[in-house]
Homo-oligomer: A and B are copies of this chain.
Amino acid sequence: MGLGQIVAQSQGHFNPPGVAPAREYSLSKHFVHPFRKVQPKPIPVDDTMSPTTRAVIEADHPPVLTLDTINRHVRDAQYAVRGELAIRAEKYRERLAAGEKLPFDEITLCNIGNPQQLGQKPITFFRQVSALVDCPSLLAVADSQGPDGEALRLLFPADVIARAQKLAKAVGSTGSYSHSQGVPCVRQNVARFISERDGGVPANPDDIFLTSGASDGVRMLLNCIISGPEVGVLIPIPQYPLYSAALTLMHGRPVPYGLNETAGWSMSVADLTASVRAARENGTDVRALVVINPGNPTGQCLSEENIREIIEFARNERLIIMADEVYQTNVYYPEDRPFHSFKKVLRSMGPSFDNVELVSFHSTSKGVLGECGRRGGYFELCGFSPAVRDQLYKLASISLCPSVHGQIMVDLMVNPPKEGDTSFPLYQEETSAIFNSLKQRAEQLTSVFVELEGVTCERADGAMYTFPRIRLPAKAIAAAEEAGQAPDLFYCLALLDSTGIERFARFTGLLRDFHQKFMEQYRDE
């Protein structure tokens, strides 16, 4: 694009709330070279622009960093979770907050699993311990016989105080950088948790990295795996967009494979093989396979047989397995669809599979905790070479350490109150209430979807999502094209505009009414 040419760059997908789409100089790189003079044409100043923004636009030089000069992998990355729909929802929220009258009086964001934002209560024991560890002035009086000690013991159960003292001793100050790989004793507890979960399969704390949420760990692994633009990674469709976004940012190639909707979103080795062979024939060096189990956003739990097939496939095709297992405790039909960890299945397959490279990701953000804001998580390496582990340790060190609060929540997640502890009854009551509510909503949502005209929906075995298929009438698709929108976005924006997607109790009714009106409006004669 030429000198001084002004083009409208719609940034709607990624505008922060309240910021109008930007009009932006588009100058090819050499025009921002220091030794050239540039006299771009003026641009109309927009009232929503901040003083500094206005300064740029009124100034007589374009900025050094523009959509032309920015890293194109950043520019090209898409992240729909915070896309147009979420932006519009946030704007509605602000308008409601400002007292404006809308067809609804509340907005519920369903763009990401963020349970506590939707009113899910945190688990008391976890928060009590976390607060105590964070506050030395409280811990200091834990054993005092004076009124402050009595006050503390009135507010905190004995097992909370004991756990907080133990953690404070192990962690030191929550204000210190920890070991880059995570506090050693927390990694030991994670290893014990994994080993117990997997029926005694050993786990080594040296192979565990605490991370800032699971996504941080995913990025660390992809950063090592993507050694050049020819390297590809198999990702499921439908997927959680972190994977496509991270691959674009790192200049790697997403190699999509389809999930088998009519077979409960299972994975077909035939399809996987076809995808990897086709990609390799096109010169893609396919190095890894991403599996999300339980599925996000598809909600399936893979069967043990299916997992065994997938591991064999990965071994035969020489692929690293990246197992996203953050929903491992959101499993609603354990009797016929239990969760099987990839590690347990892998280690049950005998020594000839010992060299399969598996990394498993977990998080404090899901489960019944829903502690997203602390950015707690970990990954476990199985079968990776020590030299590669050292490289991951170096990467972790460059970020210094994950949030110590996140690490503490990981410790609590893998080591909750036990039968007999003072806090156990409340813990059990809170966790089962959350679990049952999640399961009930998954069931209700599916049952509502399957009743709707043109909609099919698989049962969610786990996770926090259902993934209905909605067959839109030709007229709706035409209207979407008219509006320059993808048909699914068109439907969702209409749903948001007319209902605000309100709290679950009213959600299903509103969805039913909206969908009926929408289909009537667009149904093919």
Residues of chain A having any CB pair with chain B under 8 Å: 9, 11, 13-19, 22, 24-25, 29, 32-34, 49-53, 55-67, 69-72, 74-75, 77, 79, 81-82, 112, 114, 116-117, 121-122, 124, 127-128, 130-132, 134-138, 141, 147-148, 150-152, 154-155, 172-181, 202, 204, 206-207, 212-213, 215-216, 223-228, 242, 245-246, 249, 280, 285, 287-288, 316-320, 351-352, 354-355, 357, 365, 369-375, 381-391, 393-395, 397-406
Contact = CB atoms under 8 A, between A and B. Distances in A.
Nearest to A248: B398
Contacts of A114: 176-177
A319 B64 contact: yes
Given A373-B173, A387-B22, A318 B64 contact: yes
Contact of A172 (B117, B249, B319, B397): B117
B394 A82 contact: yes
B74 A204 contact: no
Contacts of A173: 116-117, 122, 373
Given A175-B116, A317-B34, A206 B19 contact: yes
Given A249-B223, A403-B405, A386 B19 contact: yes
Nearest to A372: B177
B287 A64 contact: yes
Copies per complex of this chain? 2
A82 B112 contact: no
A9 B390 CA distance: 11
A223 B71 contact: yes
Contact of A386 (B53, B58, B70, B121): B53
Contact of A52 (B150, B215, B383): B383
Contacts of A130: 134-135
* Of listed A60, A225, A319, A386, residue having the most chain B CB within 10 A: A386
A387 to B, nearest CB: 4
A223 B176 CA distance: 27
A17 to B, nearest CB: 8
Contacts of A224: 65, 70-71, 74
Contacts of A355: 55-56, 59-63
A374 B404 contact: yes
B71 A227 contact: yes
Given A127-B137, A357-B63, A16 B373 contact: no
Given A136-B127, A154-B151, A373-B176, A15 B390 contact: yes
A370 B349 CA distance: 49
5 contacts: A15-B390, A71-B224, A131-B132, A372-B400, A403-B406
